[in-house]
Amino acid sequence: MRTILLATLVLLAACAPQRARVPTMPVPSIIAMDRNSWGHLVSRWTIDGAGKGTYTLAEPDAYKPERLVTRRFSAGGAGFAEIRGLLALGEAQAESELDCGDRITDQFYGTVRWDDASLTYDMGCQNPATEEVLKGITAAERRIAAWAANQPITETRKVENQ
Answering whether pTM is above 0.75, one says yes
**What domain range includes position 82?**
27-158
Confirm whether 6 is domain-assigned.
no
pLDDT of 24 reads 67
Alpha helices in the chain (DSSP H): 2-15, 76-86, 88-92, 131-148
Confirm whether 107 is domain-assigned.
yes
pLDDT mean by block of 10 residues, the chain; 162 residues = 48 46 74 94 97 95 89 98 97 90 92 95 94 97 97 93 62
Domain count along the chain: 1
CATH number of the domain to which 91 belongs: 3.30.1560
Percent of the chain that is helix, strand, coil (3-state, to 5)? 30, 35, 35
For residue 48, what are the β-bridge partners? 30
